[in-house]
Amino acid sequence: MAVPKKKTSKAKKNMRRSHNAIAVNGISVCEKCGAPKRSHRVCLSCGDYNGREVLTGQSE
């Protein structure tokens, strides 16, 4: 069985865990209606994506 020869320092341990942080979701504002929406997704309020209407029948 593998046994470490020396104790892992706090700095080394924290450097290894630096990528474990939870990332914040990117929230942007719709250019057409101004409602908050997730990045690179269709606006659920007006149905607009990238300057054109993708979902029809949505209320503004």
Instruction: Write down the pLDDT at residue 15.
Output: 95
Instruction: Write down the pLDDT at residue 26.
Output: 86
Instruction: Write down the pLDDT at residue 54.
Output: 87
Instruction: Write down the pLDDT at residue 1.
Output: 85
Please give the chain's pLDDT, 60 residues, in tens: 899 999 999 999 999 999 998 888 889 999 989 999 998 999 998 999 988 888 887 555
Residue 38 main-chain phi, psi, to 5 deg: -75, 145
d(CA 58, CA 36): 16
Q: Which of 19, 20, 24 is nearest to 39 (CA)?
A: 24
